[in-house]
Structure 1
Amino acid sequence: MVAQHVVKEGLRWRVGNGERVLVWEDKWLPLSSTYKVVSLNTFFHAGTYVSELIDSANASWKSMVIDALFLSHEAETIKSIPLSSRFPEDRLIWVILLMASSVGDSSDTSLVRRFWKQVWSLPVPHKTRHFVWRACHEAFPTKVNLARRKVVMDNTGDVCGLKAESANHELWDCTKAQEAWSCSKLVGLSDQSECFSFIDLLWKMIIIDWVEEEKVARMVTISWALWFNRNEIRLGGARKDGKNVKVAGLGVIIRDDRGRVEAAMCKKVLVPLSALEAEAKAFEVGLLLAKYIGIQDVILEGDSLVIYNALCEASLPPSSVASVVLGMMNLCREFRRIEFSHVKRQDNRPAYLLAKYAIGINDFLVWMEENPYFLEQALSHDVLAYSFSE
């Protein structure tokens, strides 16, 4: 009976079409505190389903309705849940809970081993994992460290110019860093006053709170970006505004068997998608575009190994993109022949440039049998590489 209670407590809904999930009664928000909506229901009846918050015609959330109904952090969380254009059924998933006994049964040494094992296995680039190791060991040339070694006299940070520049200040306490964290989808991390260093916060997420791996990966990626921008500022670069992260760009390019462009598309998405979620939506947009122009034999190519493995059914997709992946797998059945291919990021540059271009447009752009002018160089390089590979 105890085990049954634990399983029940650990269940939450993964939204597909929203037809089985009650807005104010069920656990469905990807927030590790309660997974339930805390905003007061002032307009709708108690039996309102999540489907009523979805614009089924455009496979998107009803942003204006959501902004009016929910607290700002919950509204942003809801709007950032990726929706599949195929609207698969809602599913109950089990979220691992931290049991107090599991900590008592483990020695400090085994916890440290588990901590570093999970750090080194995070689905992020190696440079980001290396950054995490240095952040945990305070091995950065911060002004606090440099002043301690008499290299500089003033330890005030260059980003905010208010307090001493330590790693924890640059990555967390600084008001400029807080702008980025408040705009991220990592709700609940904006106040971690009990964490006095980067390793304290990471330890809390991995060992104490058992935060999902994809959220830990997102946290360290944002931290890396903050440190990278700090270095850019020191070299005369511009400070990036954390408030500009609420949009994502998707890029898709369709070629024939000779590498020539048949169609290209870029689309702006007005929600703060993570890199993985944006990649999943780009795959989906590519399939829909191929279907729209009548292509039946498809090789679907992208640089996300996680999405590639999920589509090949080599591994389960993370919960944040599971509905989108399931919808894509259903859509794939409508093609005569389909294969999946994984490429490195540098080999996917035209799609990356399209996604970057999408940030500056209003909605979406499609090119048919013509090359977008800003892709000419990248496409020429790809055609040459294709010719040499034959």
Structure 2
Amino acid sequence: MDSLIDSNTMKWNEELIDGLFVEEDAQLIKKIPRSQVATKDTLYWPYTTSGHCTCKSGYRFLKEESKLESNQQVPPIHVKQVWNRIWQLQVPPKIKNFLWWACRNAIPTKQALMKRKILADSIYERCHDAVEGSMHALWSCPELEVVWSDSDEWCFRSEIEFTDVKELLSWLIAKGKSLELFAYTAWIVWNQRNKARVNQQAAPLHQVAQQAKQKLVQVKADLQND
């Protein structure tokens, strides 16, 4: 993220940010105050709120890793296939870019911003119970159950654990799930989260799934009319 900051002025490189991020995220990033003093990067452990590694959090991490490795329902990730499918999606470019960044854990979640010492707290504001990483913010948070339980397409959500968005997308591709519907749903979830954080009016979560379906129907209709 240091490449987003002008090393001479210690201000955001607004032209670069506008080119890399969707408009909503770019505006949020540029509003974050920057320190005028250069600071060195520090090691950060993402599995505790303090950023310090503890025996308890390390044990929990290894236990979860072991559980995921033994889960035969999740196929190996084919990275090139995931990237190709993202760019082939029949969705606006800003949503393709968003998914690509989410797969790289590069969307500005609280976890990502805390690593850069921009925020002091990485706990997700919806549930107040877990670190806000890309996967938790878009998919696995219990507060999002009302979104992803709306369709049988996502009935596996409570049965299979994924380590990150890239692994989730790889599984969706392997199982022939609707990536377009997932993309629109995740996009609306993220934008709803952004608006709620800055106290802007946002649609309630129980309307997100229906909004995503309507967007997808509209796009398909527009393609047929072209």
TM-score range, shorter chain: 0.5 to 0.7
Check whether the contact 1:276–1:304 (CA below 8 A) recurs between aligned residues: no
The reply to whether residue 304 of structure 1 matches residue 213 of structure 2 is no
Give runs of aligned pairs for residues 159-198 of structure 1, distance below 5 A.
159-191=126-158, 193-198=160-165
Matched with 1:147 is: 114
Aligned residue pairs, count:
152
1-side partners of 2:83 and 2:219: how far apart? 27
Relative to structure 1, is the Cα distance of residues 232 and 245 closer, same or farther in structure 2, using a 3 angstrom cutoff?
A: closer
Could you list the per-position Cα deviations for residues 60-113 of structure 1 after superposition, in whole angstroms to 9, with x for gaps in the alignment? xxxxxxxxxxxxxxxxxxxxxxxxxxxxxxxxxxxxxxxxxxx99xxx8xx433
User: What's the CA shift for 1:232?
Assistant: 0.6
The CA deviation at 1:119 is: 1.3
**Structure 2 match to 1:275:** 215
Task: Please give the root-mean-square deviation of Cα atoms over the aligned residues, in Å.
Answer: 2.8
Q: For residues 174 and 239 of structure 1, do their structure 2 counterparts lie closer, same or farther at Cα, with a shift above 3 Å needed?
A: farther
Which protein has the bigger helix share? Answer: 2
Match of 2:190 among 227, 252, 270: 227
Structure 2 distance, partners of 1:184, 1:153, is 36
AA at the equivalent of 1:221: Y
More strand by share: 1
> For the Cα contact (< 8 Å) 2:185–2:208, is it kept in 1?
no
Secondary structure at the counterpart of residue 117 of structure 1: helix
- 1:158 to partner: Cα distance: 2.3
Where structure 1 has 5 or more consecutive residues not aligned to the other structure, the ranges are 1-102, 249-271, 281-302, 309-341, 343-390
CA distance in 1 between partners of 2:213 and 2:199 (Å): 29
Cα distance in structure 1, aligned partners of 2:136 and 2:91: 23
In the aligned structure 2, how far is the partner of 1:137 from the partner of 1:200? 11
Distance 1:279 1:122 in 2: 11
Larger-gyration structure (1/2): 1
Identity over aligned pairs, percent: 26
State which of 212, 216, 221 in structure 1 corresponds to 2:179. Answer: 216
Compared CA separation, residues 113 and 278, structure 1 to 2 (3 A)? closer
Cα deviations across residues 208-266 of structure 1 (Å, max 9, x unaligned)? 32x15xx1110011011111111111211245323235767xxxxxxxxxxxxxxxxxx
Give TM-score scaled by structure 1 length.
0.35
Q: Please state how far the C-alpha of 1:274 moved relative to its aligned partner.
A: 4.1
Give the direction of change, closer, same or farther, for the CA distance of 1:186–1:117 in structure 2 (3 Å limit).
Answer: same
1:299-356 CA-to-partner distances (Å, cap 9, x unmatched) read xxxx611x22xxxxxxxxxxxxxxxxxxxxxxxxxxxxxxxxx4xxxxxxxxxxxxxx
Structure 1 pair 162/239, CA: closer, same or farther in 2 (3 Å)?
farther
Structure 2 counterpart of 1:131, from 68, 75, 98: 98
Give the alignment's TM-score, normalised by structure 2: 0.58
Name the aligned partner's letter for residue 231 of structure 1. Answer: N
Q: Which runs of 4+ in 1 moved over 6 A?
A: none
**Superposition deviation, residue 156 in structure 1:** 1.3
